[in-house]
Amino acid sequence: MKCAWLIAAVALTFAVPSQGFAQTSSRDPDTAPVTGMKPDRVTAPRWLREGMAKREAVQRQRRAECRAKAKAEKVPLWKRPAYLKRCRAEPRS
């Protein structure tokens, strides 16, 4: 019997919408964030984003080369992660 009351109470709490769960206040719509982003997040400057994109492109190319090398050498699938890690760690020639 206690279990039924507990289930009913939980179902009732989720059935009734609460203003506490809402993201914006219905009282003051002008204060809602326009961007939809969280206020504590900051977008990186363009020069930093471009630098990160270049580094990621180099890493992506290196991973592709190592995967192709592993496939050419017919490294078994269960040994490939370790092979790729070693391959990316060694200096490029």
Q: Across the 93 residues of the chain, what is the mean pLDDT of every consecutive 10-residue run?
A: 70 61 52 58 81 95 96 96 93 75
Q: What is the pLDDT of residue 54?
A: 96
Check residue 83 and give its pLDDT.
Answer: 96
Give the pLDDT score at 18. Answer: 57
**Token couple for 47:** 């020069």
What pLDDT is stored for residue 91 in this prediction? 84
pLDDT score at 90: 87
Helices of type H across 1-93:
2-15, 46-72, 80-89
Spatial distance between the Cα atoms of 41 and 34, rounded to a whole number of angstroms: 14
Q: What angle do CA 69, 73, 77 make, to 5 degrees?
A: 90
pTM beyond 0.95, yes or no: no
Of the candidates 86, 43, 47, the residue with the CA atom closest to the CA atom of residue 66: 86
Residue 85 and residue 70 in contact, taking contact as beta carbons nearer than 8 Å: no
- pLDDT given at position 4: 74
